[in-house]
Amino acid sequence: MKSKKLLAIIAGIAVMMPLAACGNKAVATTSGGKITQDEYYSSMKSTSQGKAVLQQMILDKVLQKQYGKEVSKADVNKEYNSYKSQYGSSFSAVLEQQGLTEKSFKDQIKSRLLLQAAVRHYSTFSNSAINKQWKKYEPKVQTAEILVGSEDDANDIINQLNSASGNKYKKFKKLAKSKSTDSSNKSTGGIVPAFDNTSTSVDSAYKKAAFKLKTGEYTKEPVKTDNGYQVIYMVKHPAKGAKSAHISDLKTQIVEQNMNNQSFMEKVISKVLKKGNVSIKDKDLQNILSQYLNPSANSGATTSNSSSSSASSSASSDSSN
């Protein structure tokens, strides 16, 4: 499966370009003169990216004040290590491609976890909400895939699996290494990060086909996805079990779905910012949060690359089909 960029995995949180403190200290010098902090700040604050950075910085501050006790360093490290494990030896290269360091990536993870804590606070976990979620619930499944460019190629792989004697999964892994066009996982036999019904970074056709499989089964027909044709093997499909055993999982799924709901996210961020008593001192930036603090004055306005609109996008750690 082709991996999404790490920024997308972390819900598109704005790239942290610094809005430096004002001053005449030189940020850079050239033969044509120096660029001061004042000049740099004035230039940055007029850009959409600069404004998005300030929005994110403000949001981080108020979230830390309100929910900081709910997000520990251990929580951040746990999620960081899960990404590191997922990407394996290519992790450093992926970070570098995104212009991230270990510290900046952990900062973004913390931002997301703080926002997630706020969303959980404002989410509803009534019996009806839990029952509704239970109807859609699928436990996390572990699959492997072989990606090819044509339906004929996929059918040929399925035929080879059908005729194989002995361990079908062993045969599947060999075919993945020799036939799959997905360079991200063919060397590991096509293993895909575990996902459940809330995963937004896994192709819907892939999820639908996978959830129908029992452990040890594979798709008997090619699965057409955005990337081509795939043959899916179910490595582990846990039993759904009883609802009472999954109340915590169901609540977490409700939170994740709310984080993917832009309207819900805007309401949460509005409440968080209002509670944070935010005061913008720079007159040129005083309206930077008006879409959340005074939404009636911005009806019909759309968000553009801001921390909030980013936050309402997918925040999954899965790889994309």
Q: Which of 74-88, 210-224, 298-312 has the highest mean pLDDT?
A: 210-224
Q: What is the DSSP string of 31-62?
A: TTEEEEHHHHHHHHHTSHHHHHHHHHHHHHHH
Opening angle at CA 138, ends 218 and 110, nearest 5: 115
Can you tell me the mean pLDDT for 59-79? Answer: 96
Q: Using the structure block, give the residue that is written with the tokens 């759904």.
A: 240
176-199 confidence digits (pLDDT tens)? 999 999 988 898 899 998 999 988
Alpha carbon distance 91, 84 (integer Å) = 6
Place of tokens 């930077």: 288
The pTM of the full predicted model, rounded to 2 decimals, is 0.72
Strands (DSSP E) found in the chain = 26-30, 33-36, 141-148, 191-195, 223-225, 228-236
pLDDT at position 82: 86
Radius of gyration over alpha carbons of the chain, in Å?
Answer: 23
Local structure of 153: helix, strand or coil: helix
Domain ranges, ordered by start, for the chain = 6-125+246-311, 138-236
User: 231 in helix, strand or coil?
Assistant: strand
Q: What is the pLDDT of residue 147?
A: 97
CATH 3.40.250.10 assigned to 138-236:
no
Q: Which residues of 228-254 are buried (b: 16+ CB within 10 A; e: fewer)?
A: bbbbbbbbebeeeeeeeebeebbbbbb
As a whole-number percent, the residues of the chain with pLDDT over 90 amount to 66
Residue 88 has pLDDT above 60, yes or no: yes
